[in-house]
């Protein structure tokens, strides 16, 4: 039965996440934006609390940044489920209303954790339990085109030897483990790309640089060098064989789950900006009452309505993608739709909010200018706007990557 309201159980979880956002993230958001690369020690306490919640609720859902949200008990009726994906998206959205950068810095909630949760064997899952795993995909010469990865993994006895350079590794400095994408054979394209779990204390892996960024400055972004870095063959995630048909698809499937989560982040930060802008504009007499047609209210008020409508569309598209994942419906197109819509509207909304609030929005006395810097990455990582559109268009048109390039 068609119903687009969150179930009450998730409302409770959302309330909890909102409190964390409001009481823990917001008060320190500016501090770590200014002190880039300083470790947000406050998060250790929070992570411990959330680990406790995890113990009570079973396995992590591969949220990457779920921050305990995924541990809500599943709700289902008549075969329809509102499960871990929806809970995670709902939780992330609220937490990012607090701060995106801090969410990405939550210990033991890295994107690498999501990859491990998604594809690890029970033995691997046990062995890597409790780790904080970052994800290393991008290289200086391979951004969106992840098939162009040049980091190599060479079999040597019972080990793989990794060599290459990885950039833009979120939490790469603070994590204790990195999931590295590398190719078994650069001549065999996508199918040869595999992921490897590399503990940071392995000889040959080195953090060589932390980036200075436009936004999400609370989150560290590292460059990592792999020089004859040797890991046991048991650290390869998935199958070691090169299967031309499905090898890469398996790696890419993680994105069907993580893209709605990034969309949730975008919805959260945009909601923060819109909420604050409403408050600030009310002080100068602009109030939203949803009474008169768009063209009979002030331009500022009309802009608020447009932004809210866009944001609600993004939120519902995100929930739909999560709902499909929970109900085992293939959601690759819908995941990309949610990410494309949420990524671009979040960026547009946060920027417009700064403009509407004028100098109040632009200066560091408010968080509005920070949110408008933070939001930009959400239209870039986990697949840029343009990559999402390629995926959506290929699905709609029935085209392969060789036709619609």
CA 309 centroid distance within chain: 23
Is residue 316 near other proteins by the rule CB under 8 A? Answer: yes
CA 216 centroid distance within chain: 12
Is residue 42 near other proteins by the rule CB under 8 A? Answer: no
**Least Å distance between CB 68 and other proteins?**
20
What is the total count of residues that contact other proteins (CB under 8 A)? 54
DSSP strand pairing (133-136 vs 177-183): parallel
Is residue 362 near other proteins by the rule CB under 8 A? Answer: no
When binding is defined by CB under 8 A, the residue of 38, 45, 80, 249 that contacts other proteins is 80
Closest by Cα among 94, 397, 108 to 267:
94
When binding is defined by CB under 8 A, the residue of 103, 114, 142, 314 that contacts other proteins is 314
Closest by Cα among 173, 275, 270, 277 to 218:
173
- From the number of C-beta atoms within 10 Å of its C-beta (0-12, 13-18, 19+), residue 3 rates as exposed
CA 308 centroid distance within chain: 22
Out of 303, 334, 366, 382, pick the active-site residue.
382
- Which pair of structure tokens corresponds to residue 34? 């200014």
When binding is defined by CB under 8 A, the residue of 16, 308, 362, 384 that contacts other proteins is 308
Is residue 231 near other proteins by the rule CB under 8 A? Answer: no
The CB density around residue 355, as the number of other CB atoms within 10 Å, is 13
Closest by Cα among 337, 340, 324 to 86:
324
Quick check: is 382 catalytic? yes
- Which pair of structure tokens corresponds to residue 398? 């029935």
When binding is defined by CB under 8 A, the residue of 294, 299, 300, 358 that contacts other proteins is 294
- Residue 222 has φ and ψ, to the nearest 5°, of -115, 155
Taking the least distance from each CB to other proteins, the nearer of 41 and 396 is 396
Is residue 334 near other proteins by the rule CB under 8 A? Answer: yes
Is residue 300 near other proteins by the rule CB under 8 A? Answer: no
Binding span for other proteins by CB under 8 A among 78-86, 126-134, 177-185, 347-355: 78-86
Taking the least distance from each CB to other proteins, the nearer of 44 and 275 is 275
Is residue 399 near other proteins by the rule CB under 8 A? Answer: yes
When binding is defined by CB under 8 A, the residue of 77, 201, 241, 245 that contacts other proteins is 77
When binding is defined by CB under 8 A, the residue of 55, 56, 78, 285 that contacts other proteins is 78
Is residue 97 near other proteins by the rule CB under 8 A? Answer: no
Question: What's the chain's length in residues?
Answer: 405
- Which pair of structure tokens corresponds to residue 301? 């008020």
323: left (phi over 0), alpha (psi -120 to 50) or beta: alpha
Instruction: Tell me which H or E stretch contains 181.
Output: strand 177-183
**Least Å distance between CB 383 and other proteins?**
13
When binding is defined by CB under 8 A, the residue of 123, 290, 328, 359 that contacts other proteins is 290
- In angstroms, the CA 175 to CA 231 distance is 17
**Least Å distance between CB 81 and other proteins?**
8
Angle at 215 between CA 111 and CA 392, to 5 degrees: 55
Catalytic positions, written as ranges: 382
What residue ranges bind other proteins (CB under 8 A)? Answer: 1-9, 75-78, 80-82, 86, 290-296, 305-306, 308-310, 312-314, 316-317, 319-320, 323, 334, 337, 340-341, 386, 389-390, 392-394, 396-399, 403-405
């Amino acid at each position: 039965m068609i119903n687009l309201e969150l179930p009450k159980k998730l409302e409770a979880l959302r309330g909890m996440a909102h409190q964390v956002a409001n009481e823990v993230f917001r008060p320190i958001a500016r501090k770590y934006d200014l002190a880039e690369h300083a470790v947000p020690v406050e998060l250790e306490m929070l992570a411990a609390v959330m680990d406790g919640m995890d113990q009570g609720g079973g396995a992590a859902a591969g949220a990457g940044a779920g921050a305990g949200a995924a541990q809500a008990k599943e709700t289902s009726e008549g075969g329809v489920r509102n499960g871990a994906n929806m809970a995670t998206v709902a939780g992330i959205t609220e937490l990012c209303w607090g701060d995106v950068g801090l969410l990405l810095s939550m210990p033991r909630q890295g994107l690498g954790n999501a990859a491990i949760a998604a594809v690890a064997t029970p033995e691997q899952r046990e062995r890597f339990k409790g780790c904080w795993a970052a994800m290393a995909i991008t290289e200086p010469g391979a951004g969106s085109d992840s098939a162009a990865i040049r980091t190599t993994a060479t079999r040597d006895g019972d080990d793989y030897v990794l060599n290459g350079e990885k950039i833009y590794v979120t939490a790469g400095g603070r994590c204790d483990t990195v999931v590295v994408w590398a190719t078994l054979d650069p001549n065999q394209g996508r199918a040869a790309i595999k992921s490897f779990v590399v503990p940071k204390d392995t000889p040959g892996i080195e953090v060589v640089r932390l980036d200075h960024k436009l936004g999400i400055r609370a989150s560290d972004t590292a460059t990592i060098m792999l020089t004859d870095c040797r890991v046991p063959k048991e650290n390869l995630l998935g199958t070691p064989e090169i299967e031309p048909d499905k090898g890469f698809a398996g790696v890419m499937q993680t994105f069907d789950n993580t893209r709605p989560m990034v969309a949730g982040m975008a919805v959260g930060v945009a909601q923060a900006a819109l909420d604050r802008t409403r408050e600030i504009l009310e002080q100068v007499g602009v109030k939203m009452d949803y009474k008169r047609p768009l063209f009979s209210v002030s331009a500022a008020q009309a802009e608020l309505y447009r932004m809210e409508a866009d944001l609600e569309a993004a939120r519902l598209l995100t929930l739909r993608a999560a709902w499909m994942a929970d109900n085992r419906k293939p959601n690759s197109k819908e995941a990309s739709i949610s990410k494309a819509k949420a990524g671009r509207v979040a960026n547009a909304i946060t920027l417009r909010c700064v403009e509407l609030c004028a100098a109040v929005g632009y200066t560091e006395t408010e968080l509005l200018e920070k949110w408008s810097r933070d939001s930009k990455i959400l239209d870039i990582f986990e697949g840029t706007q343009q990559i999402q559109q390629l995926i959506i268009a290929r699905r709609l048109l029935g085209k392969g990557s060789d036709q619609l390039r």
